[in-house]
Chains A and B, each alone.
Chain A
Amino acid sequence: MSLKNFLILGILSLALSLGYSQDHHDQETHQNDDKHKVEETQDGGHEEAKKDESKDSDEHEGSHEGDALEHGHKEDPSEVIIHHILDNHNWHITDLPGGQSIGIEFPWMVYTSKTGFVYASDSEELIEKGIIPVHEKPYVLKEGVEKHFHVNHHGMVHLEEGEMEKYIDEEAFVIDFSITKTVSQMILVGLILLLVMISVANAYKKREGQAPKGLQSFIEPVVIFVRDEVAKPYLGENTSKFLPYLLTLFFFIWFANLFGLMPFNSNIAGNISFTAALAILTFIITQVNASKDHWVHVFNTPGVPWWLKFGIPLMPLVEFIGLFTKPFALAVRLFANITAGHFMVLGLISLIFILGNGGESAGAAFGIAPLSFLFTVIIFMLEMIVAVIQPFIFTLLTAVFVGMAMESHDDHH
């Protein structure tokens, strides 16, 4: 690996850790303003983060107010990581020195069985309309509850255990249709994909019959790989029918993963809802295009004793469940792989904060930082590979499932 690549990776992971320290900071806004300033004037990297940490320890004594003392200084890193990975209703980039937040707060678009469709430009308005956002999830407020809630800088209300039952109407059915960080990230990735692919398509028009050049020569081998190695072996003569879907799957997931690795971006494929949507699309395409033999295979599996089919319908049951486990596995595999990578990176960076013990042991934080940095770089490289392997597997299995369902079994068994 060349030095240049190593440096790029290093910068990326530093930026990522900045993103983490941002989150870390987000959790602690209860703390004093001095700390704010220190943390915000840093412009990236562990060294600064650690300095910050040590300053933090200097100021540790007696500078807390209010509920910060109740929660203590130490927070649960897993909570920070999960918050980082989960979908958000705002796209927080950074805070300016002085506490002003830079980012976008997305409007709420919520459907509930009680209120119907509700649009609110911010959380205060949403609460006004009878819906309370708790930890990125909107709930219907009970009738007659006083609408005085403290909305934090995430635009969320923090409810203690037991308070949920007090304020929230558990029976109401709620669907959150808000354009969240993940949704806008999807649109962004889609638009960039569109930009790239249309410029490549134009390059083919402009340079007709000539050898590919630039971006075109980067995309072309991948397109040909998907066509010849992923689609053709399993779909045969039907390749051209499904190739656009497979290409979109591959490139969309790949681009989404690459964006997810960049700072300030959200990891789309780390949301089970996204992977489930793709898996269900694959499932629908598979079943719609299934041949008669596919259904015969499911309900009257050849080569199985009759009593296992009609006496005790074990095989049809197994085969029928198999129809659903395939897309389920697709969704979980992609989600788990991408989420795991982000967990690893965030966990490694959290080590600094865990060993730093909330600022009490700066030495430990200093000690672990280089190791944490090194491992983050290694995991980051691994994630770059996973970012392309997972869409490949998803696309390949989609081709396999569709190809299997379309197959005629004349020459089988």
Chain B
Amino acid sequence: MGSALIQPQVGLFFWSAVIFLVFFFILRRFAWKPILNAISAREAQIEESLQKAEQARKEMADLQSSNEALLREARAERDEIIRQANDMKDKIVKDARDEAANAAALERQKAMQQIEAEKRAAIDEIKNTASALAVDVAEKVLRKEFESKSTQEEFAKKVIADLGQN
């Protein structure tokens, strides 16, 4: 009976081949084809997605570097603007100071002039007053001095003498 184990049987061989082939053709058409296609389609999709991700990453990096450049530029511009503003401020302050100084100087000058004029007027007045006083005094002195005839004559003589000397 043991030898039956290794004796191929034509009928079983026939059915084995037929059944295997039938299932092979059905499986090829309805199972392997859709499964293999789906797997390779998904693999292609994954590949594509990875490439896209890589591309996106690169784009991101590019964007970042351009952002940085933009930022740098903006920063430089900001610095420039601040510098210009500082300059302008300095100038405005300086101008204002100058103007104030000028105005002050002018004002002082005017005041000086006024003071001078007042002073002169005051001096003139003093002079006038003084001269009037002097004249008054002199008149009074002279009146007193020249009360006597003799004194008048003596003085006249002396003046005349002075005149002659010149």
Contact = CB atoms under 8 A, between A and B. Distances in A.
Interface in B92-106: none
Contacts of A201: 30-31, 34-35, 38
Select the residue from A187, A247, A280 with max chain B CB neighbours within 10 A. Answer: A247
Nearest to A339: B5
Interface residues on A, range: 35 or more
B10 A175 contact: yes
Contacts of B11: 109, 175-178, 180
Contacts of B31: 194, 197-198, 200-201
Interface in A215-229: 219-220, 223-224, 227
Interface in B1-52: 1-2, 4-17, 19-24, 26-28, 30-36, 38-39, 41-42, 45
Contacts of B4: 82, 86, 135-137
Contact of A248 (B7, B12, B32): B32
A146 to B, nearest CB: 26
A197 B12 contact: no
Contact of A278 (B8, B12, B20): B20
A236 to B, nearest CB: 16
Contacts of B33: 244
Given A177-B14, A243-B36, A194 B5 contact: no
A280 B17 contact: yes
Contact of B15 (A78, A82, A179, A281): A179
B5 A82 contact: yes
Interface residues of B, number: 37
29 contacts: A82-B2, A85-B5, A86-B5, A175-B11, A176-B11, A178-B11, A180-B12, A183-B12, A186-B16, A187-B19, A190-B22, A194-B30, A197-B32, A201-B30, A205-B34, A205-B38, A209-B41, A220-B39, A244-B27, A252-B20, A252-B23, A271-B16, A272-B5, A272-B6, A274-B16, A276-B8, A276-B13, A276-B16, A281-B21
Interface of A: 78-79, 82-83, 85-87, 109, 135-137, 175-180, 182-183, 186-187, 190, 193-194, 197-198, 200-201, 204-205, 208-209, 219-220, 223-224, 227, 240, 243-245, 247-248, 252, 271-274, 276-278, 280-281, 335, 339
Closest 8 CB pairs of A and B: A197-B31, A204-B38, A277-B16, A273-B12, A244-B28, A190-B23, A201-B34, A273-B13
Interface of B: 1-2, 4-17, 19-24, 26-28, 30-36, 38-39, 41-42, 45
Given A245-B28, A278-B16, 8 more contacts: A86-B4, A109-B11, A135-B1, A194-B26, A194-B27, A205-B38, A248-B23, A248-B28
